[in-house]
Amino acid sequence: MAMNDETYTVEEVAKLFKISKHTVYELIKRRELHAFKVGNKMRIDKIEVERFKKADSSTGMNEQALSLLLAGSHDFLIEHLIKYVTKQADFLSIQPTYIGSLEGLMMLYRGNCDVAAIHLLDPSSGEYNLPFIKLFFVHEPLTVIRLASREQGFIVAQGNPKEIQDFTDLTRKEITFVNRQKGSGTRFLLDSHLAKANIEPSAIKGYGNEEWNHLSTATYISRGIADVGLGIRSAAEQLNLDFIPVANEQFDLVLRWNKKNKDALQHLLDIIQLTSFKESIRSLKGYNTHEFGKIIHEKNRGKQ
């Protein structure tokens, strides 16, 4: 039902036509449905709804199931995004493969996925992500969108009983470390700091013990199997562990456009930039979402 006799909200139009609200935003964006703003909310006149109902707009109304393949780094933001999409946009699905930032970027380079989730530190410039993206993708249509800055650091037991403060502490004989897999952004960060401190990996007990996500790493600490691991603050918070900050890193999504995925990628962008998803993640500790949804790099998008 309309909010009054004159206008509808986006949600009401979505229910009326039995489509998702994200499709309504897309129709507005394509100017197939005319809307106006009241404050920061979109409204559609009743007359416009009746016009659209009578118009031959079947291509705009018949939603087809869309899917995207996402590969790269594991992060709780990605998990929340997938849950949000599943709940709010039943016509769009995201299938994740958590294989690390570098492998995710390589899958995107080979055309084996649509989106890469990455946080790769370039040691020479101190910059995240863009140096690698610009190295591998020269002509491909791309959009790079910022999700968040997040805290990386040492995850340790409550009270930090082994008094771990910096990377040199990892070489102490009584310290057992748990590592992340080769190709992960966290592994890049670790190896960069070890090189700066002239620390040989062989000097670290447990350097060869590899886990594939932050929560698994934190679980080693909570069970007493290891004394320390490098990971994100939110993983430490979930298991009630202590956290010693090391770095703030940029976590980005890289979208590679083609004719087959352009509609699905546009819907994903709309969800990130036009919906309440940002508000749903503000409570997550260890993240700064100030630049959430900002396009930080785009190239040849119109050439897919």
The DSSP H or E segment spanning 59 is helix 58-61
- CA contacts within 13 A on the Cβ side of 51: 9
102 inside domain: yes
Residue 154: CB partners within 8 Å, gap ≥ 6? 164, 228, 229, 230, 243, 244, 246
Of the candidates 213, 214, 219, 266, the one whose C-alpha atom is nearest the C-alpha of residue 241 is 219
What's the token pair of residue 46? 């009743």
121 inside domain: yes
Res. 5 pLDDT band, cuts 50 70 90: low
**What is the distance in angstroms between the CA of the first residue and the CA of the last residue of the chain?**
40
294 inside domain: no
CATH number, position 41: 1.10.1660
Kindly state whether residues 232 and 262 are assigned to the same domain.
no
User: Please, are residues 112 and 102 in contact by the beta-carbon 8 Å criterion?
Assistant: no
302 inside domain: no
- CA contacts within 13 A on the Cβ side of 256: 24
Average pLDDT, the chain: 90
Res. 54 pLDDT band, cuts 50 70 90: confident
Domain that holds residue 35: 7-61
Of 45, 61, 77, which marks where a domain is finished? 61
304 inside domain: no
How many independent structural domains does the chain possess?
Answer: 3
99 inside domain: yes
**Residue type for 265, please?**
L
CATH number, position 96: 3.40.190.10
pLDDT tens-digit series, residues 263-280: 999 999 989 998 889 888
**Helices and strands: H and E segment counts in the chain:** 12, 15
pLDDT tens-digit series, residues 232-250: 999 999 999 999 999 999 9
Q: pTM of the entire structure? A: 0.81
Of the candidates 210, 212, 217, the one whose C-alpha atom is nearest the C-alpha of residue 233 is 217
Average pLDDT over residues 140-155: 97
